[in-house]
Amino acid sequence: MSENKDSILILFKERKKETPNSFFYERKFSRKYKTKIIYISDYLTLSNKKLANKINKVIKDQNISVVLFEGDHISIFDIKFLELIDSNVKKGLFLQDDYMYHYINRVTASACDFVFTGCPLSVLKFQELGYKSLFLPVESDGSIFKNYGEKKIYDVLFFGRVKNNRSEITNYLKQKSINVMECGPYDSISDTPEKLAKLINQSKIVLNFTESDNTNKKRNPLSHIKFSYEMKGRVYFTGLCDSLCVSEYAPSNELLFNNKELPYFKSKDECLNVVKDFLSNDSKLLEATKKYKEKCLEYEDSNYIKKIKNFIDDKTKESKRVELNIPYWYEFIFFKKNIMLRFRSNKFFSFFNQIIESTFLTKYKSKFMIPIYVIYSLIASIFFIFKYPLSKLKS
């Protein structure tokens, strides 16, 4: 007898050509839910209210019980948009870059029943405010990231973009006669999850770097601090492939690997020493890999989806939320984004419909900003009138 699944709707901001993680979300939730995906970028011919009506029709027609909204980077998903969505469904916000966008996300989260976030430290931040929150691993599909029985032909693997301190450390290891294999997301050897999983299988150790540059990120309240040290998916899906991850230190990792299952380094010399220690002792490497893998299996989709489902279904009353006043800057950045999305995509009717909705039909908490909204809309409309025919001629 087939399982009678609930239905879930996942709303993404756009179809991404790079790192299309919607693939992993869909496979994950499909284990327990009938899953429907909508990409908002496909519907910019509609104003927000018309788009919300379309989403509500999907909710009704497909008997949706849970709706997930992609958070982080600024989009149309603000408090006002979430309030337009059917109040009979459970609403959740899912995040991957909350370390940059927390001050925005925590306002949007006030219109949700719960928050999923890809960082365990972020979970605690939301719980501190009284929100129900759960850590959500993304790339943890055990049907992709698994043991393929490949021979271990690489001592050390690093996959990812070359930035920050990554090349400095990998070059240092090479100078010290460590065999390091490097590849990026667009290399033919690693440009699909399946290829990457087999490459991890072929490696004894995978390096994970956590240092991230804060200074080049817009609207990041920590931009005055040069670096942050962040959670990366490598730390849990490497183990599913039966290889050991050696990670640059990040406090968030300790919340997941709380029994020293994940080896750390804090400098290039420490990295060299840890790597050499494992490569010189096969039994120690095998023992560490086994311990690490067993922990990673807790976050693998077929296991973790049960925790996700129980979390969503839980009817326990959440703790009292911190009282929230919507700040003027929050309303302004979403006001601007809603208009500029249609402006850049050259959507004539939805641009002017959104101008009317955002400027004259929306109730704002910060009344003193209304003259600014009117002026901004007027200027944007003038530019659009000149831009639109020129764009048509170019096309």
Helical axes 268-279 vs 282-296, angle rounded to 10°: 110
278, 360: one domain: no
Helical axes 328-344 vs 370-394, angle rounded to 10°: 20
pLDDT at 197 exceeding the cut of 70: yes
Domain-embedded: residue 128 = yes
352, 243: one domain: no
Grade residue 4 by pLDDT with cuts at 50, 70 and 90: confident
Q: What is the pLDDT of residue 395?
A: 60
Q: What is the pLDDT of residue 217?
A: 57
Q: What is the pLDDT of residue 376?
A: 97
* Residue that has been written with the tokens 């997941």 in this structure: 256
pTM of the predicted model over 0.85: yes
Domain-embedded: residue 217 = yes
Q: What is the pLDDT of residue 231?
A: 87
Average pLDDT of the chain?
Answer: 92
* Residue that has been written with the tokens 């995040």 in this structure: 95
pLDDT at 389 exceeding the cut of 90: no
92, 198: one domain: no
Per residue in 271-307, pLDDT tens?
Answer: 999 999 999 999 999 999 999 999 999 999 999 999 9
Grade residue 187 by pLDDT with cuts at 50, 70 and 90: confident
End residue of a domain, out of 313, 342, 369: 313
Q: Pairing state of beta strands 203-208 and 244-248?
A: parallel
pLDDT at 269 exceeding the cut of 90: yes
Go through 129-155 and write b for each residue having 16 or more CB atoms within 10 A of its CB, e for each that does not: bebbbbbbbbbbbbebbbeeebeeebb
d(CA 146, CA 31): 17
134, 160: one domain: no
71, 164: one domain: no
109, 206: one domain: no
Identify residue 158 by its one-letter amino acid code.
F
List 154's β-bridge partners, or say none.
Answer: 203
35, 110: one domain: yes
Grade residue 5 by pLDDT with cuts at 50, 70 and 90: confident
289, 379: one domain: no
For residue 43, the enclosing domain spans 6-141+305-313
Taking Cα atoms as reference points, which of 8, 385, 24 lies closest to residue 192?
24
161, 84: one domain: no
Q: What's the number of domains the chain is made of? A: 3
List 117's β-bridge partners, or say none.
Answer: 95, 135
DSSP string, 211-260: EEE-TT-TT-TTTTSSEEE---THHHHHHHTT-EEEEE--HHHHHH-TTS
342, 284: one domain: no
Domain-embedded: residue 272 = yes
Identify residue 308 by its one-letter amino acid code.
I
90, 172: one domain: no
Domain-embedded: residue 146 = no
Identify residue 91 by its one-letter amino acid code.
K
CATH of the domain at 190: 3.40.50.2000
Per residue in 88-145, pLDDT tens?
Answer: 999 999 999 898 899 999 999 999 999 999 999 999 999 999 999 999 999 999 999 9
Handedness of CA 18, 25, 210, 151 (dihedral sign): negative
d(CA 5, CA 313): 13
Q: What is the pLDDT of residue 160?
A: 84
